Amino acid sequence: MLPTIDRVTATPPDVRRSVPRTDSVLADPAVGDAVVRLGRDRVRTAVTAVQQQVRDGLLAPGAVVPAVLALLPEGASSLRPVLNATGAVLHTNLGRAVLSRAAVDAVVDAAGATDVEYDLATGARARRGRGTLAVLRAAVPTAEDVLVVNNGAAALLLVVTALCARPRREVVWSRGELVEIGDGFRLPDLVSSGGARIREVGTTNRTTVPDVTAAVGRRTGCVLTVHPSNFRVTGFTAGPDTRELAEALPPEVPLVVDTGSGLLAPDPLLPDEPDVSTALSNGADMVTTSADKLLGGPQAGLVFGRSDLVERVRRHPMARALRVDKLTLAALEATVAGPVTPTHTALHTDPDRLRRRCLAVAGVLREQGVDAEVVPSPSVVGGGGAPGLELPGWAVELPAGLAHPLRTGRRPVIGRVTDGRLRLDLRAVPESADGRLGGAVLAAAASAVDGGPGACGA
């Protein structure tokens, strides 16, 4: 009889025993830095997700910390900084104006407790944002007073509502200026939502001063003119001149002018763009405009004009709902009183300098085997400013297949595809970021698998 041999079946190790403990992962110095930056709960959620990958056999236990770090964003916000190489200086989808270094520093300084509405000398309450209002008045001496609200549309809505809503009065307005401002929002709907009644005058292509004055009566709350900043009507056209209109209106009827694009004074580069100072000098009683366009500041709406009318608007109940926070006030003051803004620099960049920058970037790319050329490429103001105006410039032209990897890379670069080629216009890209842009292109070219012929060179 043969001896019995016991067969011992090996029990597989419990994978749960190999999963690193949560507290040990959080104790890792790199993960600890992420906790400081992003918060413990957010990092803990990422740790839990990676631990589950280990349990599922998808990840080695020793790779937990790198996997957690890869899963976490670089910043606490979901917003990602991008390089705007589209050729539109004020790109609405990319946040319009880029803040100056001075404005960014002012925002950081104002992030804590500040004297935004407090007089340090007396210990009493003070007018909110008085420093910002002072620099705005200094920038536009023709304005007796100024008010800041949260965007340009809010400024227009508040002014017309304060002048026309109680009792329900009329705003006289040219049919050619009843515009849509984007994303389906139309100015007539905006204005009437505050309670004002719109009295349309003139036609789509022609409105004269007599058209306006004939409509003014005892129910008129104000006369409004709006600069159609995002389109142009050419040919047989006419619009009322601000000076002639101001002289023709009765003194009790305020003339409100919405310039829209935020230009405070004339700019020879933009001869057809209206500015606040000129509108007030020509007789406008109130002028509304945006701060995040040609002014180059944060999103805000500005109201300039007669002190009695500005005070009337400031005391309207709606003003409390539309006021700006301390961060906006700080950035706006630093923008107006500080150095030249990135917007101004981009708009006034010499085309020859742009060409030299493009040649330098393209040269580096070609040395690494990337199909890169330098081509003439006009830029535009964007953001509803100076429609039809083209700024002469240059761009680095690349295979169109690089557009997607550039947008989705670690350091996103947004260009535009024209005639089957990707163009990177450097006008709105800081010169200090040219190297970053070139590095992003090289990374995109390296990751492009099916980018088409010439995606990574011939």
| Residue scoring higher pLDDT (176 or 311) | 311
| pLDDT at residue 458, as a whole number | 35
Mark residue 285 as left, alpha or beta (left: phi above 0; alpha: psi -120 to 50; beta: remaining): alpha
Distance, CA of 359 to CA of 396 (rounded, Å): 8
Task: Please say if the pLDDT value at position 156 is more than 50.
Answer: yes
CB of 33 closer than 8 Å to CB of 27 = no
Q: What is the dihedral of CA 263, 264, 267, 273, to 10 degrees?
A: 40
Q: What confidence tens digit (pLDDT) does each residue in 278-307 have?
A: 999 999 999 999 999 999 999 999 999 999
**What's the average model confidence in pLDDT over 9-30?**
79
Task: Please say if the pLDDT value at position 387 is more than 90.
Answer: no
Q: Helix, strand, or coil here: 430? A: coil
* Single-letter residue type at 96: R
Average pLDDT value over all residues in the chain: 91
β-sheet bridge partners, residue 422: 398, 417
| pLDDT at residue 366, as a whole number | 97
| pLDDT at residue 80, as a whole number | 92
pLDDT band at 12 (very low <50, low <70, confident <90, very high): low
Task: Please say if the pLDDT value at position 11 is more than 90.
Answer: no
> Please, what is the Cα angle at 343 between 338 and 344, to 5 degrees?
70
**What's the average model confidence in pLDDT over 84-97?**
96
Question: Of the given ranges (177-181, 309-313, 410-414, 436-440), which has the lowest mean pLDDT?
Answer: 177-181
Residue 315 CB burial class (10 angstroms; 0-12, 13-18, ≥19)? exposed
For 81, phi then psi, to 5°, come to -65, 140
| pLDDT at residue 102, as a whole number | 98
Task: Please say if the pLDDT value at position 75 is more than 90.
Answer: no
What secondary structure does DSSP assign to 302-329, as a single string? EEEE-HHHHHHHHTSHHHHHHB--HHHH
Domain boundaries, the chain: 15-71, 83-90+345-447, 100-339
> What CATH architecture is 83-90+345-447?
Alpha-Beta Complex (3.90)
**Which run of H or E residues covers position 302?**
strand 301-305
> What CATH architecture is 100-339?
3-Layer(aba) Sandwich (3.40)
- Enumerate residues 6+ apart whose C-beta is below 8 A from 106: 330, 331, 333, 334
Q: What confidence tens digit (pLDDT) does each residue in 101-136 have?
A: 999 999 999 999 999 999 999 999 999 999 999 999
Distance, CA of 52 to CA of 59 (rounded, Å): 9
**Which run of H or E residues covers position 215?**
helix 209-215
